Amino acid sequence: MEESDIKFLEESFKKYYFDHFDLIRVPERTSEREFGYQKFNSGMTRHISIKDDKELHLLLMQNIPSDVYCSNAYYSFPNLPMNEKDWKEADLIFDIDAKDLNLSCRQDHTISICNDCNEVSKNSDQCIKCNSIKLEKKSLPCKNCIDFSKIEVSKLSEILIDDFAITSEDIHVYFSGNEGFHVYVYNSQFQQIGSRERSELVDYLMLHGIMPETFGMKKFKPNRSSFPDFNEKGWRGRFSKQMFGSKSKRSKIISELLVNGYTSFQKDLDNISEKIGVKVDPNVTMDIHRIFRLPGSINSKSGLTKILCRDLKKFDPYSEASFLNDDSIEIFANCPIEFKLKNKKFGPYTNEKITVPTYAAVYMICKKLATID
């Protein structure tokens, strides 16, 4: 990124940090957490410990980071190197990202930026100018992306509550600041489990590794009575709702399943798990030493804020998570896709000089689709 762009972004971020101390609060048990941050065009600084809001705000004002992170884990000595920190426990976290949902709309709003010649084009596998295959993909997520991500969040919450006895008050959902949601689970029985155990939880939620026998299909002498019923709890109940559709069709469909046999049933299961399994990023949940984007901080992939969603259904990130100011700024934009922020439409722009509000300029510059000159 050019110096002038960085300067502009830093100025905008600094103003946000200064004006919104109320949004950027340290999490509970602050002194047991590890903090970290990144500056534009620079590596990660981590293993930092912070006492309170004041110290955090000072760090933000002094360093003007592009991104700020905080561990979901609790340590005795968060500022020491990893193997000396003395890990105590970690909140359960989930990352749901629109890019992992295989949505058909992605095609329409993904842009390829060539690493060799900087040419911007609509989604392609090869640069249209220099044929390079070293392309960086940027997405300008749409409403559809957010709506489908919300469905995944709801699926996740339902299972956490029904199967794992977690109370809804202990589930906090945040917009990630870019194209998805971060879900935190507090005070659960899973605080102290390690990475491998968390990986098993992920498989459970994603409906990975299921055996036909679990849903009633046996290899030898299969019978009708072992198939799940509508009102069963857990995955058997959810499976039967998806597989049979309605109670009246159950019997007929079981007959078909029995005729088709075991191997075919395994294939059916794979399809079903794609539909009803929760699509979380397994790596995030499995990582018990991660520093995760700090709520209230700006995501430098978009200039939007990671913010708590109190009413997920109504939540609109493109109006509620954009906190940068409206001051006009002239930029040079090459953004082939239209986008909406604070209920205003922008673009498409083809290599043109435009004057837009700061929040829209930051959005495009963060996506590498505009520059200050």
Partner 1 sequence: MLILGQDEKAKYPFLTDAGEYLKDKGFPLVQFGTDPVLKLSVEKAFHRIQVATEGQIYKSDLIDGQASKPFILEREVFSFLLAVVLIKLTGMSTLTKRFALAEARRAEKHLEKDLGNASDKSKIDLAIRIIDDLFSVQVEKLDDYFVIPVSDYLKHSINFHEREWKLINRHVEHGKVFLTPHETVRLIRTELGTYINSKIVNAKTPTMISGFEDYVNKLVLLSKKFTTFTVTTGEYPPCIKHAIEILEKGENLPHSGRFMLATFLLSKGQSVEQITPLFKNAPDYNERVTLYQLNHLAGTSGSGTQYSCPSCTKLKTQSLCFAIPECDNIISPLQFGKKRK
Residues in contact with partner 1 by CB under 8 A are 81-83, 115, 133-136, 163-166, 189-190, 192-193, 196-197, 199-204, 207-211, 213-214, 233-236, 282-283, 286
Least distance (Å) between residue 99 CB and partner 1: 12
Chain CA centroid to CA 180, Å: 4
Q: Tell me if 190 sits within 8 A of 201, measured CB to CB.
A: yes
CB-nearer residue toward partner 1: 50 or 210: 210
* Choice between 111 and 207, CB closer to partner 1: 207
97 noted as active-site residue: yes
Q: Does residue 316 carry a catalytic annotation?
A: no
Q: Which of 147, 139, 137, 100 is nearest to 285 (CA)?
A: 100
- In the structure encoding, which two tokens stand for residue 259, read together? 């005729």
Q: Which two tokens stand for residue 38?
A: 């990144």
Output 165 or 259, the one with its CB closest to partner 1: 165
Residue 315 C-beta: closest distance to partner 1, Å: 28
Q: How far is the CB of 84 from partner 1 (least distance, A)?
A: 8
Residue 196 or 345 with smaller CB distance to partner 1:
196
User: Which is it for strands 35-38 and 67-71: parallel, antiparallel or unpaired?
Assistant: antiparallel
Of 48, 14, 7, 9, nearest in space to 31 by CA? 48
Nearest distance from residue 196's CB to partner 1, in Å?
A: 5
Paired strand residues for 135: 114
List 5, 67, 91, 97, catalytic entry = 97
Among residues 125 and 311, whose Cβ is nearest to partner 1? 125
Q: Pick the catalytic residue from 5, 91, 95, 287.
A: 95
103-118 exposure pattern, b = at least 16 Cβ within 10 A, e = fewer: bebbeebbbbbbeeee
The CA-based angle 144-150-152, given to 5 degrees, is 110
The least distance separating partner 1 from the CB of residue 235, rounded to whole angstroms, comes to 7
For 294, residues 6+ apart whose C-beta sits below 8 A from its C-beta are: 24, 27, 35, 68, 69, 70, 306
| Distant-in-sequence, close-in-space partners of 229: CB < 8 Å, separation ≥ 6 | 236, 237, 240, 250
Closer of 102 and 255 to partner 1 (Cβ): 102
Where are the alpha helices (H) located in 193-337, listed in sequence order? Answer: 195-206, 234-244, 247-260, 262-276, 282-286, 317-320
CB of 309 to partner 1, least distance (A): 25
Q: Which of 281, 287, 326, 373 is catalytic?
A: 281
Angle, to 10 degrees, between the axis of helix 262-276 and the axis of helix 247-260?
Answer: 130
Minimum CB–partner distance for residue 360 and partner 1 (Å): 27
Check: CB of residue 242 under 8 Å from CB of residue 275. yes
Which of residues 23 and 161 has its CB atom nearest to partner 1 in the complex?
Answer: 161
Give the active site residues: 95, 97, 281
